[in-house]
Structure 1
Amino acid sequence: MKTKASLLLAAVTSLVVGGLAATAAPPASAASLVEVTGFGDNPGGMRMHVYVPDSRPASPAVVVAMHGCGGSGPGFYSGSEFASLADRFGFVVVYPSAQQEAGFGKCFDTWSSAAKRRGGGSDPVSIVSMVGYVEQRYGGDPNRVFATGSSSGGMMTDHMLALYPDVFKAGAAFMGVPFDCFANAADYPPGSSRCTGGGGADRTPRQWGDAVRQVNPGYTGARPRLQLWHGTNDTLVPYSLLQESIEQWTDVFGLSQTPTSTDTPQAGWNRRRYADSSGTTQVEAYSVQGAGHSLPSTGMAASAVAFFGLDGPGTPTTTTTTTTTTTTPGTGSCRISSKVNAWNNGLTASITVTNTGAAAVNGWTLAFTLPGGQSITSGWNATYSPASGRVSARDAGYNATIPAGGSVDIGFQASHSGDTAAPSSFALNGSACSAT
């Protein structure tokens, strides 16, 4: 057993400490990772690091980003993309470092009876103290606090949302497990536990949901939305646990086990969404085809930040304007709907391309003209060139087909010198498009 545990620890350490398969370097700016001591009640004996971007609003959002077993806050800072996204969007990132030994390196405590009670002690209380510190010291917005993490950190993400639904607005758990999956410390090491290695995780949705509800039976407030990620080839924390987590949180929200929509937002990312009666996605789950215990990889942190609703301008204290395109209607088999949100010297443009023809479009290029002084700095769901003037947006491969009557959403962020008008003169594969 000692040999197996050593191999498992080595595997996780190589992923979390040595760096993931595709990682981002620390952001290039004057901001830096800073350790904080004396941040408040700390029964878990944890260490706290914080990354505060140079450019941020008066009341920035707060993202708690948690490492896997054998890792550390600084390691997750340098091995994930959250800090670079904080530079772009102006939120503060808290990087806790677990100090609990569980026979598998230092992991976040999601197994003890104290950690399963609201205010019971151990790591959850320490993490809430860190959030409170950022709210006090940096003016963090208490209505925009989020949790995310990988492996042990993903497990703690589910944990924090169950214990403190009044603190966290949403979470994104990578390779986690449902809340209350581990019976105790002896059950924790993934290689030998009933949760990750046996039948202890095979519960009904109602049983999983009850585990969350029993934490605070009198709670009637809103529950945090949750995004779940798991690799289909993960054997350390088995892929089957993704379904158990879906069952838990859909039951907590009173949702059907049948997704309201499914899609593939990127090659290999199969997404299931579970929306409520108002159309709000409360739970979404990503099955990453062929991935092992190696998440998040490139682009996944950005998807988490978008799920949190933090992927807009990083300076919301400035005036924001919304402009709808007024492109002259064309005669082609396509329709364009676009919206621009502008601030200071930047803007984002969201564009929906609808195929109004009778046949599917297989492979597309959308041409449009940017107003003078606008220059694209980044984009999503397409590749853009050149950055200004007459631009061509080409499909990203995974969204190359637009069925008859179907649509695709793309967008970009750009700088501007004063003209914040929407793009104009749209043409899909050379055919002019009408506008709404």
Structure 2
Amino acid sequence: MHLPTLATLAAMVTVGTAQLTKVNDFPGTPTRLGMYINVPKNLKTPAPIIVAVHHCQGSATGYSQSTKYVQLSNQYGFIAIYPNSRSGGGCFDVASQATLTHNGGGDSQTIVNMVKYAIDKYGGDPTRVFSVGTSSGAMMTNVLMAAYPDVFAAGSVYSGVPAGCFAVQGSTATQDPPGWANSCANGQLTKTAQQWGDLVRSYYPGYNGTRPRMQIFHGTSDNTLRYPNYQEQLKEWSNVLGLTTSTNKANTPKSGWTQTIYGDGTATTAKLVGYSAQGVGHSVPQQEAMDLAFFGIN
């Protein structure tokens, strides 16, 4: 394991009692995203990695302050990576052909390069890489799970849309990153589970390995990325993961929420788990303890 030197570090951003570090020698390729990281003193060997991807009009530092992954990184000894969008609106590219193609470029590959950097530099565990995200970050997490199933073991998404949904609608390719897709955001774009699954599989043709486990949160009163996107995500990943049965449990984990477990297993071991949050808008509040439990970090 190689610890960062002073030459590799930039300004330290205080997050409660923790500090988030900008990595200066990360090249940012191919799309020049900023890389912020927390490498705890009690780092496990090898260390799990959680990538936490912010929402539109957000930032790495802002997301680190509104979530608890940095503090939990210090508690449990995992590496926390916070990518920082380069776009003026703070969104990530989840729609271009490059970002939706394995090793095709785009923001998705830049984030994967952050993971590889953390594995090489800080002793990250390549078998225990996870991603969480909110809104645009949830969309990116879905994209990462779809295009890079060889890198990520699991994802947890808060108020997102299916992988490829913005591209299917046809956003403006000349925008950087590609622009907003109204029909998808409004929950008007529906496909069969097979169609969604085929779309995901097209992002890494020929891949026959294990697919990431997925945990999906969505609020019924979401007026930004509307609630039908919840079922579309579940359809997508149930097909990708080969799951055909599901079980609902009301008022779980809290009143008004409905938990759906696909296939066998529990909320922490199943391949696909969904949470519908009655009356919750955009976005569902982060459930960090549930994320760590789903990822098997303890």
Give yes or no for TM over 0.5. Answer: yes
Query: Pick from 130, 136, 147: which aligns with 2:114?
Result: 130
The alignment partner of 2:37 has SS state of strand
**d(CA) in 1 for partners of 2:35 and 2:284?**
22
**Counterpart amino acid of 2:274?**
A
Task: Decide which structure has the larger Cα Rg and report it.
Answer: 1
Q: Are 1:285 and 2:274 matched, yes or no?
A: yes
Report if the CA contact (8 A) 2:187-2:225 is conserved: no
Identity over aligned residues, as a percent?
41
**d(CA) in 2 for partners of 1:132 and 1:292?**
35
The alignment partner of 1:106 has SS state of coil
Q: Which residue of 1 aligns with 2:21?
A: 34
Report if the CA contact (8 A) 1:27-1:87 is conserved: no
Give 5+ residue unaligned stretches, structure 2: 1-13
**Counterpart amino acid of 1:228?**
I
Give the number of the structure with larger relative contact order, counting CA–CA contacts within 8 Å between residues 6 or more apart: 2
Q: Which residue of 2 aligns with 1:260?
A: 247
Q: Which residue of 2 aligns with 1:148?
A: 132
Q: How many residues align?
A: 277
Matches within 5 A, 1:378-417: none
Cα offset, 1:306, TM superposition: 0.8
TM-score (norm 1): 0.60
Q: Which residue of 2 aligns with 1:197?
A: 186
Query: Which string of whole-angstrom CA distances, capped at 9 and with x for unpartnered residues, describes residues 326-357 of structure 1?
Result: xxxxxxxxxxxxxxxxxxxxxxxxxxxxxxxx
**d(CA) in 1 for partners of 2:270 and 2:185?**
27
Query: Pick from 285, 289, 295: which aligns with 2:284?
Result: 295
Cα offset, 1:59, TM superposition: 1.1
Bigger share in helix: 2
Cα offset, 1:94, TM superposition: 0.2
Deviates more, 1:263-272 or 1:138-147: 263-272
**Counterpart amino acid of 1:81?**
K
Q: Which residue of 1 aligns with 2:75?
A: 88
**d(CA) in 1 for partners of 2:179 and 2:215?**
24
Q: Which residue of 2 aligns with 1:74?
A: 61
Q: Are 1:157 and 2:144 matched, yes or no?
A: no
Query: Which string of whole-angstrom CA distances, capped at 9 and with x for unpartnered residues, describes residues 99-123 of structure 1?
Result: 134xxx1211001111111111110
Matches within 5 A, 1:230-245: 230-245=218-233
**Counterpart amino acid of 1:97?**
N
Q: Which residue of 2 aligns with 1:223?
A: 211
Query: Which string of whole-angstrom CA distances, capped at 9 and with x for unpartnered residues, describes residues 173-209 of structure 1?
Result: 111111110124428655x62211263x211111000
Query: Pick from 49, 52, 66: which aligns with 2:39?
Result: 52
TM-score (norm 2): 0.87
Report if the CA contact (8 A) 1:271-1:284 is conserved: yes
Cα offset, 1:169, TM superposition: 0.4
Q: Which residue of 1 aligns with 2:200?
A: 212
The alignment partner of 2:155 has SS state of strand
Q: Which residue of 1 aligns with 2:159?
A: 175
**d(CA) in 1 for partners of 2:275 and 2:187?**
23
The alignment partner of 2:130 has SS state of strand
Cα offset, 1:45, TM superposition: 1.2
Query: Pick from 256, 275, 293: which aligns with 2:263?
Result: 275
Cα offset, 1:277, TM superposition: 8.6
Bigger share in strand: 1
Query: Which string of whole-angstrom CA distances, capped at 9 and with x for unpartnered residues, describes residues 143-199 of structure 1?
Result: 100011100000000000001101000000111111110124428655x62211263
Report if the CA contact (8 A) 2:94-2:166 is conserved: yes
